[in-house]
Amino acid sequence: MKYDICIVGSGAGAGPIIYELSKAGFKVLVLEKGPWLKTSDFTKDEMTATRRDAYVPNLKDERHVVVRKNAQGEWKAKNTADGGGDMWNGSCVGGSSNFMSAYFHRLKPKDFRLKSEYGAIEGANIVDWPITYDELEPYYAKVEKVIGVSGKVVPHKHQEPRSTPDYPHPPLTTNIVADWFVEGGKKEGFNITPAARGIISEPREKRGACYHSNYCGSFGCSSDAKASSRAALINDALETGNCEIRPNSKVFKLETNDQKEITNVWYYDFDDQKVSVSAKRYVIAAQAVETARLMLMSTGPAFPNGLANSNGLVGKNLLFAGGGAGSGYIRYDSLSDVDRKKLDVPLTFVNQTLLDFYEIEDDSFNGKAKGGTIDFLIEHSNPMPKAMRSKYKDGTLLYGSALKENLKDYFTNQKRVRYEVFCDWLPNDDCFVSLDNEVKDKWGDPVGRVKVGSHDRNVKVGNYLAERAEKVLKNVGAIDIRRGISSRPPTNLMAGGCRFGDDPNTSVLDKNCRAHEVKNLYVTDGSFMPTGGSVPYTFTIYANSFRVAEKIIEDLRKK
């Protein structure tokens, strides 16, 4: 078959391309490294989903080398096959969008002009985006309609402009503690508002509504309520007859000719045989680390330093998410019987957000500075994290009867309430992807070497936000409040590495996410983002991918 487009990856950056081009009648080929899991394959078993890494590659086969500073401030490299966190998030059809928590906050207009609004920051490679919020806004609205977003728009001081009055689906049912958070915020003069979720609250087409299993983030959705690329977009694309999915297809090189055009893509199939396929256009959407790695591996006479990498910027300015989290406990003996019963109802959605400090006005920041988002949550129902936290009491490891008593107390006498803080992970020269010179994957290819240097401002803003969040936790009666704000990157939130821009000397992609140097290549995962904003990235990746899909269709129709 002759293909109009070949797409590497199938997650949030790929799904809209797959969907739109298939619907438009183009022949689409998707090469996905992982297996093709269906809805019936997703389980709420913790050992499968969160302890055995069933949905990501085996580190014996594929690994990373992560370089970070130790306690002495020395840069140390660690092969993730030898233990430690890796950079995988979801390797299957639909990618990590199958396992997201699906908090869908839009970027704000000021996020698109971070340098112009707040000025340069020493040690940070901040630039303005080549597009504006107004250019992306119609595609945020499109995501809400096409894949399904639940929520309610309630005005706040940093409310972004909208072309639609509200979300297409009503809010998900929440635990009573959601109301307590709102009231706790009011005591501080804070305006806590509902958070939108990429999870449908009512059935639509062939997808079921959320049935409140209380096992959400990190777990695949067994009702297809979660707006994964697979459930919300790819399944519809397949019905057109124009889309072919090849799972277990590990792409290792994009080959180019003397005119700097991609001529074909090489991958290992299920039997580890090398296979080549061609198309008119190519899209890479393999998530930031692996996208950069693939481009660096795709060398040839036209690109001796890697595909589209003549300026040396592929893999540079990698982004994660700044901030962190904190938690405390509401003891049942501090509540009335009525309130205890309300809190103990098995509903784990809270969906309340504090955006008052998306911009900070404080002397400690020399005036105005970019702040961030605070989301309030409660602990999910899955028991293993609770059991793990019960192993210690007052710093002592427990055994036998003491452990049993502590387990019983944790499960029956309290509820853990939480907050998560999101602020900009400032791009810097010590956060990038390269190829490791020694460590190889099972096919003999160099693995991604990821240096994860963090700017000090990330932690400063994170702590500022955490202090406000903890006031709310105290107002709802939480005790034993603990904070975890650090420079350690949350690897489920990654972007950057192929930033877009108008100048080919300072960016890898143009404003439409086409490579400056390769006219038949687009990159549509989060790699395009020059700065990440102060929200989770998936919603913006979806929106931008819908935007770029229109540009690719226009490009193909010119020929």
Asked if residue 94 and residue 35 are part of one domain, the reply reads yes
Q: Which two tokens stand for residue 211?
A: 């049935």
Write the pLDDT tens digit of every residue in 186-219. Answer: 999 999 999 999 999 999 999 999 999 988 888 9
Give the chain's radius of gyration (CA, Å): 23
Q: Could you tell me if residue 206 is inside a domain?
A: no
pLDDT value for 406: 94
Asked if residue 327 and residue 306 are part of one domain, the reply reads no
Average confidence (pLDDT) over 91-116: 96
Residue 368 phi/psi, 5-degree rounding, is -80, 140
Residue pointed to by tokens 């036209």: 302
Residue 559 has pLDDT above 70, yes or no: no
Strand 65-69 with 192-194, pairing: unpaired
Q: Which two tokens stand for residue 442?
A: 């099972």
Asked if residue 289 and residue 185 are part of one domain, the reply reads no
Residue ranges of alpha helices (H) inside 211-353 are 229, 235-238, 288-297, 337-343
Residue pointed to by tokens 């990159």: 523
Query: How many angstroms separate the Cα of 444 from the Cα of each of 33, 268, 348, 439, 529?
Result: 16, 12, 44, 9, 30
Q: Identify the domain containing residue 392 by its residue range.
A: 151-195+322-424+455-488
Cα–Cα distance measured from residue 68 to residue 454, given in angstroms and rounded to the nearest whole number: 9
Q: Could you tell me if residue 349 is inside a domain?
A: yes
Q: Could you tell me if residue 382 is inside a domain?
A: yes
Residue 229 has pLDDT above 70, yes or no: yes
Cα–Cα distance measured from residue 415 to residue 141, given in angstroms and rounded to the nearest whole number: 36
Cα–Cα distance measured from residue 299 to residue 53, given in angstroms and rounded to the nearest whole number: 32
Residue 417 phi/psi, 5-degree rounding, is -110, 150
Residue 57 has pLDDT above 80, yes or no: yes
Cα–Cα distance measured from residue 345 to residue 334, given in angstroms and rounded to the nearest whole number: 17
351, 195 Cβ separation under 8 angstroms: yes
Asked if residue 282 and residue 186 are part of one domain, the reply reads no
Domain C-terminal end among 442, 473, 488: 488
Write the pLDDT tens digit of every residue in 454-501. Answer: 999 999 999 999 999 999 999 999 999 999 999 988 888 999 999 999
Average confidence (pLDDT) over 97-108: 96
Asked if residue 505 and residue 465 are part of one domain, the reply reads no
pLDDT value for 141: 98
To 10 degrees, what angle do helices 538-558 and 15-23 make?
Answer: 40
Q: Which two tokens stand for residue 377?
A: 């949550």
Asked if residue 477 and residue 409 are part of one domain, the reply reads yes
pLDDT value for 519: 95
121, 134 Cβ separation under 8 angstroms: no
Hey, what amino acid is at 491? T
Residue 5 β-bridge partners: 28, 281
Asked if residue 465 and residue 447 are part of one domain, the reply reads no
Q: Could you tell me if residue 209 is inside a domain?
A: no
Asked if residue 125 and residue 161 are part of one domain, the reply reads no
Q: Could you tell me if residue 145 is inside a domain?
A: no
Q: How many CA atoms lie within 13 A of 429 on its CB side?
A: 3
Closest CA to 220 of 10, 32, 43: 43
Query: How many angstroms separate the Cα of 57 from the Cα of each of 49, 80, 246, 289, 537?
Result: 13, 12, 17, 14, 23
Burial of 519 (0-12, 13-18, 19+ CB in 10 A): middle
509, 515 Cβ separation under 8 angstroms: yes
Distance of CA 310 to the CA centre of its chain: 28
pLDDT value for 268: 98
Dihedral of alpha carbons 233, 234, 237, 239, sign: negative
Q: Which two tokens stand for residue 287?
A: 């998530």
CATH number at residue 246: 3.50.50.60
Asked if residue 155 and residue 250 are part of one domain, the reply reads no
pLDDT value for 556: 96
Average confidence (pLDDT) over 9-25: 98
> What is the helix (H) or strand (E) element at residue 266, kind and residue range?
strand 262-268
Cα–Cα distance measured from residue 151 to residue 458, given in angstroms and rounded to the nearest whole number: 29
Residue 442 has pLDDT above 80, yes or no: yes
Let me know how many helices (H) and strands (E) the chain has, helices first.
Answer: 13, 24
Domain C-terminal end among 473, 488, 503: 488
Mean pLDDT of the chain: 95
Write the pLDDT tens digit of every residue in 520-558. Answer: 999 999 999 999 999 999 999 999 999 999 999 999 998
Q: Which two tokens stand for residue 173?
A: 């049912």
Asked if residue 236 and residue 107 are part of one domain, the reply reads yes
CB atoms within 10 A of CB 110: 19
Residue 81 has pLDDT above 80, yes or no: yes
Cα–Cα distance measured from residue 190 to residue 473, given in angstroms and rounded to the nearest whole number: 13
Q: How many domains does the chain have?
A: 2
Q: Which two tokens stand for residue 466?
A: 């955490």
Asked if residue 278 and residue 262 are part of one domain, the reply reads yes
Average confidence (pLDDT) over 510-517: 98
Give the model's confidence band at 71: pLDDT under 50 very low, under 70 low, under 90 confident, else very high.
confident
Cα–Cα distance measured from residue 318 to residue 196, given in angstroms and rounded to the nearest whole number: 27
Closest CA to 371 of 385, 356, 382, 387: 356
Give the model's confidence band at 1: pLDDT under 50 very low, under 70 low, under 90 confident, else very high.
confident
Q: Which two tokens stand for residue 112?
A: 């698109």
Which of 36-50, 95-109, 114-128, 450-464 has the weakest average pLDDT? 36-50
Residue % of the chain over a pLDDT of 90: 88
Cα–Cα distance measured from residue 90 to residue 526, given in angstroms and rounded to the nearest whole number: 15
Residue 52 has pLDDT above 80, yes or no: no
Write the pLDDT tens digit of every residue in 307-358. Answer: 999 999 999 999 999 999 999 999 999 999 999 999 999 899 999 999 999 9
- For residue 392, the SS3 value is strand
Residue 84 has pLDDT above 70, yes or no: no
Length of the chain: 559
Cα–Cα distance measured from residue 358 to residue 370, given in angstroms and rounded to the nearest whole number: 6
Q: Which two tokens stand for residue 91?
A: 């390797």
- For residue 199, the SS3 value is strand
Asked if residue 273 and residue 389 are part of one domain, the reply reads no
Q: Could you tell me if residue 203 is inside a domain?
A: no
Q: Could you tell me if residue 372 is inside a domain?
A: yes
Residue 32 has pLDDT above 80, yes or no: yes
Hey, what amino acid is at 348? T
Residue % of the chain over a pLDDT of 70: 99
Residue 364 has pLDDT above 90, yes or no: no
Q: Could you tell me if residue 172 is inside a domain?
A: yes
> For 277, which DSSP code?
E
Closest CA to 41 of 168, 191, 228, 243: 228
Write the pLDDT tens digit of every residue in 405-430. Answer: 999 999 999 999 999 999 999 999 99
pLDDT value for 346: 87
Cα–Cα distance measured from residue 354 to residue 503, given in angstroms and rounded to the nearest whole number: 36
